[in-house]
Amino acid sequence: MLKMGDPMNPSLSPDIEEVWPIRLSELLASSPIVKDVAIEPIRLHEDGPDGEVDFLVDGEPHRLVIECKSSGQPRYIRDAVGRLGREIFRSHGLTRGMVAAPFISPASRAILAESGMGWIDLAGNARIVFPRFHLEISKADRDPFATKREQRSLFFPKSARLLKLLLHKPQKSWKVAELVTETGVSAGQVSNVRKALIEREWAHAEAGEGFRLTEPDQLLDAWRDDGIQPPQVLMRGYMLTHGRALDAAIEEAFAEAADQNVHVLLASHSVARRVAPFARVSGEFFYADSTGFSLLRRRLQIDPTDKGENVTIYEAADDGLWLETMELGSKIRATGPIQTYLDLLSTGERGREAAEHWRTEKITPMLRGKP
């Protein structure tokens, strides 16, 4: 009977419990120097591992003790390392620890390797290291079992409000109530995001002091790789105005929007071109609410078009968009550093190059606490 009552891991996946003995048996059988493999997928004692594997290498006994986890995130792996360490300490003979999970991330593998332990997962990654026997297979660095929704749920619009605020102030410790007040997101949602960040070891909980980001760059990397959702286009259009006349018309539009408390923001390449120029992409980009959309069409004399557009107006996915903004002189307001980065990433190869330049110029100094 495998261990099911671990408070750190209340719902072990039956798949990993049933499959790891088969996968490990096949793995060991593939080595010509391994003989007499005996796998016992049983709970050995109250605080013991989930199984043990005995085999011979050139006639010498070797033993693996196994700890199963339903999640291969670093937080759970550290718990497994502690449990396996205690078992290895009281073992006799040549013994190593191994963690079995559906997927063990590269960060978790680094933790296990540093502790001298191995791993096996359902994505095909495995490592067994003894003084005279070393077997390692790397097949997947991204979780093949996570659905698109699971991969991206941390970056959905409501959660994105929280992440942007955390990234703007990475050195600050936040309590749940503070984040609720600052973002208007529910306490339950804040708690879910907090838990997800801590599990991935991108944030650290401090007793009595809330929690704070510890790996903002890793969070931003994951957002870039798994969380990009292109903005919804309200209209692609064409306008005859250009040059200084266009600049003046844009300023007048933003002045009117400010007077009428209408939501309009300069976006994407329009922001990058003015603040941190890199790859020049023609056209102007905006976010607008319904009233702002009408204002822009009237002020800039925009006509809709199916091709050859030189202006694109986006719809905000969430009201949190209006919370992270920048002033670009006069009354022109633009999307904030994080939203600008995400929007640039969604505009093709040139956009991704411009996004990384933007990140170097504007976001990295922010994450380092520099003005």
pLDDT in tens, 210-243: 899 999 999 999 899 877 888 999 999 999 989 9
Q: Can you give the pLDDT at residue 42?
A: 65
Q: Are 235 and 298 in contact (CB under 8 A)?
A: no
> Would you give the DSSP letter of residue 71?
-
* Residue 125 burial class via C-beta count within 10 angstroms: exposed 0-12, middle 13-18, buried 19 and up: buried
Q: Are 206 and 194 in contact (CB under 8 A)?
A: no
As a CATH number, domain 232-367 is 3.30.460.40
* Distance between CA atoms of residues 361 and 13, nearest Å: 44
3-class DSSP state of 40: strand
pLDDT in tens, 274-312: 999 887 788 999 999 999 999 999 999 999 998 889 999
* Distance between CA atoms of residues 302 and 297, nearest Å: 5
* Distance between CA atoms of residues 327 and 208, nearest Å: 36
Could you tell me which residues are beta bridge partners of residue 174? 211
| CA 253, chain centre distance (Å) | 37
Give the residue from 205, 207, 193, 191 showing the smallest Cα distance to 164: 193
Instruction: For the chain, give every domain's residue range.
Output: 14-137, 148-226, 232-367
Could you tell me which residues are beta bridge partners of residue 303? 238
- Detail the DSSP E strand segments found in the chain: 34-40, 51-57, 60-68, 95-101, 118-121, 126-130, 133-137, 203-206, 210-213, 232-238, 264-266, 284-288, 303-304, 311-315, 325-327, 333-335
Per-residue pLDDT of the chain (371 residues; tens, 9 = 90+): 333 333 333 334 447 888 899 999 999 999 999 999 999 876 555 567 888 999 999 899 999 999 999 888 888 899 899 999 998 988 888 999 999 999 998 889 999 999 999 999 999 999 999 998 999 999 988 888 765 445 567 898 889 999 999 999 999 999 999 999 999 999 999 999 998 898 888 999 877 778 999 999 999 998 998 778 889 999 999 999 899 999 999 999 999 999 999 999 999 999 999 999 887 788 999 999 999 999 999 999 999 998 889 999 999 999 999 999 999 977 899 999 999 999 999 988 889 999 999 999 999 999 987 76
Q: Are 59 and 155 in contact (CB under 8 A)?
A: no
As a CATH number, domain 148-226 is 1.10.10.10
Domain 14-137 -> CATH class? alpha beta
